[in-house]
Structure 1
Amino acid sequence: MASTAFGKLETRRTLTKTKRFRTGDEPQKTHRLVLLPKGAKPVSVALSPWHEFAWRTFGGFVQARYKENQDLEDNLLRAHIKLRPEEYLAIAWLNTTIAAVSAVAVAFFLALFLFVLRASISLVVVGFALIAIVPGLLAYAVYFGVPVLLKGKPAGMAKKRGKQVDKKITGSMSFISAMASADVPVDVIFKELSKQPVYGEVAKEAEWITRDTELLGVDILSAIRNAAGRSPSSKFQDFLQGVVTTSTSGGQLKPYFLMKAEQFEKEDRLEMRKRMETLGMLAESFVTVVVAFPLFLVVIMAIMALISKTQSGFVLSLLYVVVGLMIPISQFGFIFVIWNMEQEA
């Protein structure tokens, strides 16, 4: 089964030529007709062969037992996973079943190997249970017994997209405010923003707004309102809701865009300052924990080994542990923390 989405081919026709009115009617007194750009057409997004196999195998089973899960549907939409909840569940069932069967097969061959080696029967039974039964039960319990964990992957992907949107929102606000200063209409602003790949996930959000207005015939305010509801970023949601509120209340969008661009720029500066303070604290901790403390510890343990002849073997073993494990692990720990901070930033 294929899910349907809308896409459009690029066209050289300008946006001013995509909307027209009935001949002889005044624009203020008639409904607007939408003329799709040249080359615009619905595109069928087909499932991959693996997804099709999962749907053919578990589609009927999932549909017979499926209960509406709005949170899962919203997370799939926010993560831009082009699957319906039923299709996602069918794929999850197939993956979990294959994992459980693989665990049983591995356990069977391991038990056979232990039997050939004439291991004890209790060892064979325990090994089979630990490798086959426990992973199988845990797999089904995690994916289908706990509803919160069931939607963990789409929610995690949506959260990741939200962070990517937050990274690019300051630059995109500068782009939007610059176009608004030139009195460019809102729909054209989002259309041009969708053509800028440098803005990453923000450009994809703008592309969905343009899709709604140009292909689905939705007015620009409704398209922005829908985009605010499905956006994974709270900052972008707040911005889009502000656009709708400002427009419906009769306000001017140009001052609003300029104000939001300045606000996001200030927030970025504050966030950068906090990040630098955190890095400074980590640097001080690194010098204390990884450099000074192991150095003093090594010196003290070396002196103890020279003074105490009876405990010299134990002290030397402990010294090897400090030098071979404690110092490298602590260094890699600090490196991972700093790398993770940079990735989030």
Structure 2
Amino acid sequence: MAGETDLFTRMDSTKKSYLRTKSAAPKHSKDAGPRVVKLPEGVVPDYVKLSPYQEFCWRTIGKAVVRRMKANPKLELSLMQAHMRLRPEEYTAYVWMTTLIVGVLTGVLGALFGGILIAFLGIGAGMVAATTVAMIVLPIVLTYVVLGSVPGSKAKTRGRDINKRLGAAMSFISAMASADVNIDIIFKELARQPIYGQIKDEAEWITRDTELLGTDILSAINKASMRSPSIRFQEFLQGVVTTSTSGGQLKPYFLQKADQFEKEAKLEMRAQLETLGLMAETFVTVVVAFPLFLVVIMAIMAIVPGAGGNSDTTILLLYLVVGLMIPFSQFGFIFFIWNTTKESSM
């Protein structure tokens, strides 16, 4: 119809996201209902909304950050790989404002603590000044360093999740390719499989680029390879682009990659089992046998007169071994084993 235009509106559902195209013409001039296209969950771009605290940081020092901040491609790449929907300027404002607040709070607490030490305990001014400076500087440095490393840490976590699920995802991709399914449909179907974790999210980005932004599938895959936090997934996507542009067939490539990742997963699992076995032997030796012998020897030294050593000191050391050494060593081993098994589980 002449003068008729199309508008895009978002319609949310509890299960899926939809993209509805409706006509701007009056209702009586419509010959047919709106066209509804169902897309995988997550491919419809949401409005990026900052949290209240992040918005406060941006409104407070955002202009100063824009003026003073230098270009930081590493931070931008880390934010993209971590799927943190923040611009580098916004995240820098969040880091700077949080560090400033921590500095003010630690400054006030440090001044109060220093005054208490001087007024009530009579400690020298030099020692109080050194303690106060340490109380102020250390939290500021730790806050800045920890917040600055959060995007990279999240990106590495996503990369590990992609690596551990890559073998299963390649089996899915190779099965689809064996049925002569097009590569864009393969990634679209992969984006609907939540069992593949972060690989599903990467496939959603590829589907978003092709279906919403109009990018061709090879360009979308190439962009995904540059922003993926997993080196192995990057190499796989680059191989897809290279094979397609050089005139090769993708089906043998997918089958070969599926076999390769399956063998690598078996080798990694075997190495992990050997590591767990070594840790179990170390746990028995360091955490069970050594403290047991140490406690027995120290108890005998404290009970038997003339066995050597001060009995009070021996009892104090015995308390430290039983109350600190044994619990903390057990907690450390348990945490290490839990973290290792968590990363390897699907």
Which of the five TM-score ranges fits, normalised by the shorter chain? 0.7 to 0.9
Distance 1:324 1:136 in 2: 29
Matching of residue 74 in structure 1 with residue 77 in structure 2 = yes
Distance 1:336 1:43 in 2: 37
Matching of residue 260 in structure 1 with residue 257 in structure 2 = yes
Q: In the alignment, is the contact (CA less than 8 A) between 2:11 and 2:17 conserved in 1? A: no
Q: In the alignment, is the contact (CA less than 8 A) between 1:100 and 1:139 conserved in 2? A: no
User: Number of residues paired by the alignment?
Assistant: 312
Q: 1:65 — aligned with what? A: 68
Cα distance per residue 1:234-277 (max 9 Å; x no partner): 11101101111111111111111111111111111111111111
Cα distance per residue 1:267-314 (max 9 Å; x no partner): 111111111111111122222222333333344445555363564715
Structure 2 residue matching 1:166: 3-state secondary structure: helix
Q: 1:131 — aligned with what? A: 135
Q: What displacement does 1:153 show?
A: 1.9
Distance 1:330 1:136 in 2: 27
Q: In the alignment, is the contact (CA less than 8 A) between 1:100 and 1:135 conserved in 2? A: no
Q: 1:176 — aligned with what? A: 173
Matching of residue 211 in structure 1 with residue 214 in structure 2 = no
- Change in Cα spacing, 1:104 to 1:310, as seen in structure 2 (3 Å) is closer
More displaced stretch, 292-301 vs 241-250: 292-301
Distance 1:78 1:335 in 2: 30
Q: In the alignment, is the contact (CA less than 8 A) between 1:174 and 1:261 conserved in 2? A: yes
Matching of residue 91 in structure 1 with residue 94 in structure 2 = yes
Q: In the alignment, is the contact (CA less than 8 A) between 1:163 and 1:344 conserved in 2? A: yes
Q: 2:29 — aligned with what? A: none
Structure 1 residue matching 2:47: 3-state secondary structure: strand
Q: CA RMSD in A?
A: 3.2
Cα distance per residue 1:194-227 (max 9 Å; x no partner): 1111111100000000000011111000000000
Q: In the alignment, is the contact (CA less than 8 A) between 2:19 and 2:44 conserved in 1? A: no
Q: 1:194 — aligned with what? A: 191
- Name the amino acid aligned to 2:257: K
Q: In the alignment, is the contact (CA less than 8 A) between 1:221 and 1:244 conserved in 2? A: yes
Q: 1:306 — aligned with what? A: 304
Question: Any stretches of 5+ residues in structure 2 without a counterpart?
Answer: 1-9, 21-34
Structure 1 residue matching 2:229: 3-state secondary structure: coil
Distance 1:105 1:249 in 2: 65
- Map of 1:193-342 to 2, 5 A cutoff? 193-304=190-301, 305-306=303-304, 308=306, 311=309, 313=311, 314-342=313-341
More displaced stretch, 152-161 vs 186-195: 152-161
Q: In the alignment, is the contact (CA less than 8 A) between 1:294 and 1:322 conserved in 2? A: yes
- Change in Cα spacing, 1:138 to 1:276, as seen in structure 2 (3 Å) is closer
Cα distance per residue 1:122-168 (max 9 Å; x no partner): 37656654434x3476369x55xxxxx87422111111111111122
Structure 2 residue matching 1:44: 3-state secondary structure: coil
% same residue: 54
Q: What displacement does 1:112 show?
A: 5.9
- Name the amino acid aligned to 1:63: V
Cα distance per residue 1:25-82 (max 9 Å; x no partner): xxxxxxxxxx994789764323233222212211111111122111111111111111
Distance 2:305 2:226 in 1: 71
Distance 1:118 1:293 in 2: 41
TM-score (norm 1): 0.79
TM-score (norm 2): 0.79
- Change in Cα spacing, 1:287 to 1:62, as seen in structure 2 (3 Å) is same
Q: What displacement does 1:332 show?
A: 2.3
Q: What displacement does 1:182 show?
A: 1.1
Structure 1 residue matching 2:304: 3-state secondary structure: helix
Distance 2:310 2:119 in 1: 46
Distance 1:161 1:77 in 2: 11
More displaced stretch, 76-85 vs 288-297: 288-297
Q: In the alignment, is the contact (CA less than 8 A) between 1:51 and 1:91 conserved in 2? A: yes
Structure 1 residue matching 2:248: 3-state secondary structure: coil
Distance 2:123 2:319 in 1: 38
Structure 2 residue matching 1:45: 3-state secondary structure: coil
Distance 1:303 1:102 in 2: 50
Q: 2:57 — aligned with what? A: 54
- Name the amino acid aligned to 1:131: M
